[in-house]
Structure 1
Amino acid sequence: MSYNDAQTRLNLSAGLASVSVAIVLVGMKLWALWATGALSIAASLADSAMDLLISGAGLGAIIYAARPADDDHAFGHSSVEDLASLGQALFVSVSAIAIAIAAGGRLLSQEPQALAAEGAGILVMALSATLTLGLVAWQARVARKTGNKVVAADMLHYVGDLLPTIGAILALWLSSRFGWAKVDSIVALIAAAIMLRGAGQIGVSAWHALMDRAAPQEIIDRIAGIARTWPGVMGFHDLKTRTAGAKIFVQLHIELDGAQSLDAAHEIAASLKRTIIEAYPQAEVIIHKDVWRG
Structure 2
Amino acid sequence: MTLQKKATVVSSSVAAILTLIKLVVGIASGSVAVLASAVDSVLDMFVSVFNYFAISNAEKPADKYFNYGRGKIEALASVIEGTIITLSGLFLLYQAIEKAINGEVSRYIEESLTVMIISLVITISLVIYLNYVSKKTNSMVIKADALHYKTDVYSNVAVLASLLLVNFTGYEIIDVIIGGGISLYIIYSAYELIQDGILVLLDKAVDQTTVKQIEKILMSEERVNNLHLLKTREVGNRIFVEVHLVFDCLITLMEAHKISDKIENKIRKIDKEKNWIINIHMDPYDDFESNDEEHDLH
For normalisation by structure 1, the TM-score amounts to 0.86
1:147 to 138, 142, 151: 138
1:86 and 1:112 mapped to 2: Cα distance?
Answer: 36
Which string of whole-angstrom CA distances, capped at 9 and with x for unpartnered residues, describes residues 160-211 of structure 1?
Answer: 2211111111111111122122111111111111121122322233233323
1:60 aligns with 53
CA contact (8 A) 2:61 2:69 kept: yes
1:213 and 1:238 mapped to 2: Cα distance?
Answer: 15
2:71 to 68, 72, 78: 78
Higher mean C-alpha deviation, range 230-239 or range 12-21: 230-239
Change (3 A) 1:24 1:246: farther
- State yes or no: 1:221 paired with 2:212: yes
2:244 aligns with 253
- State yes or no: 1:235 paired with 2:226: yes
Change (3 A) 1:212 1:169: same
1:141 and 1:207 mapped to 2: Cα distance?
Answer: 24
1:158 aligns with 149
CA contact (8 A) 1:122 1:169 kept: yes
Change (3 A) 1:112 1:272: same
1:272 to 232, 239, 263: 263
Instruction: Kindly name which structure, 1 or 2, has the bigger radius of gyration based on alpha carbons.
Output: 2
Higher mean C-alpha deviation, range 245-254 or range 9-18: 245-254
1:211 and 1:187 mapped to 2: Cα distance?
Answer: 37
Secondary structure of residue in 2 paired with 1:234:
strand
CA contact (8 A) 2:226 2:245 kept: yes
CA contact (8 A) 1:50 1:88 kept: no
- State yes or no: 1:132 paired with 2:94: no
1:179 and 1:14 mapped to 2: Cα distance?
Answer: 41
Q: Which amino acid aligns with 2:129?
A: W
Which runs of no fewer than 5 residues in structure 2 stay unpaired? Answer: 288-298
2:87 to 84, 94, 100: 94
Question: How many residues are treated as equivalent by the alignment?
Answer: 285
Where does structure 1 differ by over 6 angstroms across 4 or more consecutive aligned residues?
none
Which string of whole-angstrom CA distances, capped at 9 and with x for unpartnered residues, describes residues 199-244 of structure 1?
Answer: 2322233233323333343443333333333564332211112344
CA contact (8 A) 2:151 2:186 kept: no
1:205 and 1:118 mapped to 2: Cα distance?
Answer: 39
CA contact (8 A) 2:105 2:172 kept: yes
Change (3 A) 1:272 1:89: same
Higher mean C-alpha deviation, range 257-266 or range 191-200: 257-266
- State yes or no: 1:179 paired with 2:170: yes
CA contact (8 A) 2:78 2:140 kept: no
1:149 and 1:203 mapped to 2: Cα distance?
Answer: 11
Change (3 A) 1:23 1:276: farther
- Give me the CA root mean square deviation: 2.4
1:188 and 1:246 mapped to 2: Cα distance?
Answer: 37
Change (3 A) 1:99 1:153: closer
- State yes or no: 1:118 paired with 2:109: yes
- Higher relative contact order, structure no. (Cα contacts within 8 Å, ≥ 6 residues apart): 1
1:49 and 1:200 mapped to 2: Cα distance?
Answer: 20
For normalisation by structure 2, the TM-score amounts to 0.85
Percent of matched pairs sharing the same residue:
27
CA contact (8 A) 1:54 1:85 kept: no
Q: Which amino acid aligns with 2:253?
A: L
Q: Which amino acid aligns with 2:264?
A: K
2:280 aligns with 287
2:195 aligns with 204
Which string of whole-angstrom CA distances, capped at 9 and with x for unpartnered residues, describes residues 91-116 of structure 1?
Answer: 22222112112212333x3x632211
1:40 and 1:230 mapped to 2: Cα distance?
Answer: 62
2:217 and 2:15 mapped to 1: Cα distance?
Answer: 42
CA contact (8 A) 1:66 1:77 kept: yes
1:3 aligns with none
1:19 and 1:120 mapped to 2: Cα distance?
Answer: 24
